[in-house]
Amino acid sequence: MMLRLGDIAPNFKVKTSAGELDFYEYLGDSWGVLFSHPADFTPVCTTELGKTASLKPEFDKRNVKVIALSVDSVESHQGWIKDINETQNVEVNFPIIADEDKSIADAYGMMHPNASATFTVRSLFIIAPDKTIKLIISYPASTGRNFQEILRVIDSLQLTTYHSVATPADWKDGEDVVVVPAIKTEDIPAKFPKGFTEIKPYLRMTPQPNK
């Protein structure tokens, strides 16, 4: 199954390192990040889970709940968590799914046979409160995720969800944004009272509206 942007994220009930849970119930009205790992006790993923734990305050202030997935057992996860906490100087503070039958990996298209016949690729999904998929990124096993980019994308997605703007290349929170083409130039002052700059009729910039 190949999920695409805008699709509804499949729900599931599963065993995790934090007990059994229903995915939709876990997310509630929050945004979600679901990210997969090839197996427990893998070096790059150990650093990633440690980084995720250390960024909990950043996810919390964005109303984001994080959940990881690996195809090993809950018992294996518990041992791995001990290693993560020890080596990364953190306390893992989010569930790790035990997807032993790979049913969730299959539902989310995490199995890429040309990359590995047996392991999930390292995919990441950002899911909105309405359970639609807003972002999909897949990484090779050798490249650690850039979590500052993930936070940046969450900031962009949340901004564009609640305001009629898009974010330009290399945008960071607090910088000017793009007025979407659907808004007529004559209507911009009423919607964006901070002002705007018309670079081209199709390229209008305005200060970030929620700052």
Kindly state whether residues 129 and 177 are assigned to the same domain: no
Residue 56 is predicted with a pLDDT of 96
Residue 114 pLDDT: 46
E strand segments, the chain: 13-16, 19-22, 31-37, 64-70, 96-98, 122-127, 133-139, 165-166, 177-179, 197-200, 203-206
**pTM for the predicted model, two decimal places:** 0.91
- What pLDDT is stored for residue 39 in this prediction? 85
| Amino acid 177: pLDDT | 98
Number of domains in the chain: 2
Q: Give catalytic status of residue 45 as yes or no.
A: yes
Residues 108 and 192 in one domain: no
129 in the same domain as 54: yes
Q: What is the domain-level CATH number for residue 202?
A: 3.30.1020.10
Q: Which of 14, 34, 45, 92 is catalytic?
A: 45
Residue 39 burial by CB count (10 A; 0-12/13-18/19+): exposed, middle or buried? Answer: middle
pLDDT one-digit tens code per residue, 144-183: 999 999 999 999 999 999 998 999 999 999 999 999 999 9
Whether residue 141 is found in the same domain as residue 173: no
> What parts of the chain have a pLDDT lower than 50?
114-115, 117-118
Q: Is 119 within the bounds of a domain?
A: yes
Interhelix angle 43-54/74-88, rounded to 10 degrees, is 70
Q: Could you list the residue range(s) of the whole structural domain that residue 130 is in? A: 13-145
- CATH number of the domain encompassing residue 61: 3.40.30.10
Query: How far apart are the C-alpha atoms of 78 and 144, rounded to whole Å?
Result: 22
How crowded is residue 174: how many other Cβ atoms within 10 Å of its Cβ?
10
pLDDT the model gives residue 122? 78
For residues 33 and 131, membership in a common domain is answered with yes
Whether residue 83 is found in the same domain as residue 167 = no
